[in-house]
Structure 1
């Protein structure tokens, strides 16, 4: 692990993770994007779990959980995420790990994330960009719509080509 992080209570994880990261991590979990889990012992009686999470690319994620699996002690992901808090891939792996262990915290975490998603919708804006491209060989103009969702601070949280 590259840096020392403060441990995060699993119960408080949704509040410590960016809203878009949490929502997308939950979607990756629900859509079965987390590969087979590999468990191992970590120093101090803690547990490590790692797996590939398949999004636009595949990312290798490793989590270190406390011995009671009630705190996320550290995480590492091969994605380019640089914000504080776990990335969406770490969230997906954590939810899958709790699911595999039959942990009662999973239901509460999924409920919290639904609440976050509902609360954040009021603060999202959607920009629609229309891109035009001329195809010389066919002598026609192609139209490409692009939707961009932004949070209250104006940061892009999602973009999609609906076609």
Structure 2
């Protein structure tokens, strides 16, 4: 996708575009890097925000860890894209490829293994990418998601800003691409449980958390329906959804009830095939 002022305007409101222009003029972009079509940057606002865009994707697939939760992209994303219009960063893709090509296989393997040994999230993504099932339980995954809620506002119980759940959704998608639907369902269930149990802490960015919850719940139902032919596993999944109708927080209760009905219907369709 061509990066022009017009294409940037297409993904944000007029007010946000003007703020993005101002942020760029004020020199708020402190780091910016590019590998192939992916641009990452650090933009200062009330704090430092991480930004990622894909110059080749339709709409640039913008991502930012700021609390903006309104239509279109945020001002930090707009500032980065406008920087790419006027002064695009050098592409480090060739340099990275050359370094990989020249690296000793044993040294590269040792480096990767050391990184995987100390980075649980990266290790799970790697194992998912090579077709291995998840080694983490729902409880273990939940603990890491719950920790993100605690870290967001450690001094208070209330959560005011959006939380980035991308790493777990990407992990679930990786399992789905590998047709490891049971593993994907495990990740989705951890997200569903954590979001449901922490929803009463949320005081702001409601649309963000609602979308994340709906995406996780839909993914869970789809993956359970695809993966589980075992009657006990299916019964457990339906029981989990029904239990959440009364045991979870009040707002998502209707969603759980509809999900249980949808899962039964999908399994009924499979039984007739």
TM range (shorter): 0.3 to 0.5
Structure having the higher helix fraction is: 2
User: TM-score, normalising length from structure 2?
Assistant: 0.29
Question: Higher relative contact order at CA 8 Å, sep ≥6: structure 1 or structure 2?
Answer: 1
Greater Rg over alpha carbons, structure: 2
User: TM-score, normalising length from structure 1?
Assistant: 0.48
Structure having the higher strand fraction is: 1
